[in-house]
Structure 1
Amino acid sequence: MLEVFFPELKKQAEEWVQHYGYTALFILSFTESVLQPVPPFPFITAAPLFKLDPYVAGLVALVGNVLGALVAYFLARYVGEGFVRKLLGEKRFLKGEALFNRYGFWAVLIGEPYKLVCWLSGIFGMPLWRFLLASLIARGVRIAFFVFWGDLLRRWVS
């Protein structure tokens, strides 16, 4: 689906990972938590094709995702509700507010897109430790799924 809306961005991300490996994966993971639409997950699964270890790729992606999430969380707190309302649009903002009012911690665990969850966590003042714990669990489980498939691919191509 990403190819339909952002074909050049997807192609550029593939070239970055091909040339810069883990560094590119870290940057993709970090920025995906803040704003950009290219997720790191396909690159974790395809890590062996980029001559990367899927376990290291998963760890790099997890660290990048969570650090980027912290940036989005603190940016949202800094720039304030008005800016985030404009950034997300009124409809998404109200939907996110209802989600956080109802589910709180669980909204971070199961909410997508992750960047939206990060911004809303900061705006609605979720305690930082709860946000980090939920992010580590949610991203860790999701990334582990892609590491599993990447490991299978590594075994198949070896």
Structure 2
Amino acid sequence: MLRKLYDWTLSLAARKSAEWWLAFIAFVESSVFLVPADVLFLPMALSRPARAYRYAIVATVASVLGGIAGWFLGHYAYEAIAKPVLEFYGKFDDFEALRVSSGVGFILLMLITSGLAHLPPIKVVTILSGVIGFPLGWFILSAIVARGARFLFLAWLLRTYGEPIREFIEKRLGTLAALAAAALISLYILVRYAF
């Protein structure tokens, strides 16, 4: 099922309405959808490099708006909507563990790492932010910074290096971003508990 969903998302890049689909996928990825917007963003930016930054801005704005929707789901409709979504994706136990142990500083860190590296998945963090009542203004600001940095960096890579960088992005960028996120988390834990 996941492979079919991935292939379907990738097929949207060839359509005339691809930009609208990118906005839609980026929006729902931040609150309920499993496939990241990168799957659509990468082929679109490669096929029309002159529009890479435009696509990055579309993906960022839609992702932030989707994150706000996830925040509202968590804050106002956790039992009715958010909990079933998390259970459907098998993320409910992870979510509950995060919910019990998360403070405001840790949520901010997770918003940045999930925005940059999908670690943890962005939909989990947006819903969690709403559930614990993380300040919406800080939520929006961190989402703009993290998601904007991710999409604009990908746009820059694709405009600068073109097709040869695609394999690197698809296979290694996630690992590098995850390592950077792990370093941020480690630094946070070190500062919080060592000093």
Cα drift, residue 122 of structure 1: 0.4
Cα distance in 2 for residues equivalent to 1:75 and 1:119: 6
Cα drift, residue 149 of structure 1: 1.9
Cα drift, residue 155 of structure 1: 8.5
Look up the equivalent residue of 1:60 and give its one-letter code. V
RMSD across aligned C-alpha pairs, in angstroms? 2.3
Answer yes or no: is 1:96 the counterpart of 2:98. Answer: yes
Kindly indicate whether structure 1 or structure 2 has the higher relative contact order, using CA contacts under 8 Å at least 6 residues apart.
Answer: 1
TM-score of the aligned structures, taking structure 2 as reference length: 0.68
Look up the equivalent residue of 1:74 and give its one-letter code. F
Q: Which residue among 123, 136, 151 is the counterpart of 1:143?
A: 151
Give the secondary-structure state (helix, strand or coil) at the position aligned to 1:104: helix
In the alignment of these two chains, the number of paired residues is 152
Which structure 2 residues correspond to residues 117-136 of structure 1 after superposition, within 5 A?
117-136=125-144
Q: Percent identity?
A: 24
TM-score of the aligned structures, taking structure 1 as reference length: 0.82
Q: Which residue among 3, 9, 23 is the counterpart of 1:7?
A: 3
Checking the alignment, whether the CA contact within 8 Å between 2:45 and 2:55 is kept in structure 1 is no
Cα distance in 1 for residues equivalent to 2:10 and 2:81: 32
Extract unaligned runs of 5+ from structure 1.
none
Cα drift, residue 41 of structure 1: 1.8
Extract unaligned runs of 5+ from structure 2.
115-119, 165-195
Cα drift, residue 153 of structure 1: 4.4
Cα distance in 2 for residues equivalent to 1:45 and 1:99: 35
Cα drift, residue 152 of structure 1: 2.4
Cα distance in 2 for residues equivalent to 1:86 and 1:70: 19
For residue 108 of structure 1, what is the aligned residue in structure 2? Answer: 111
Cα distance in 2 for residues equivalent to 1:146 and 1:128: 27
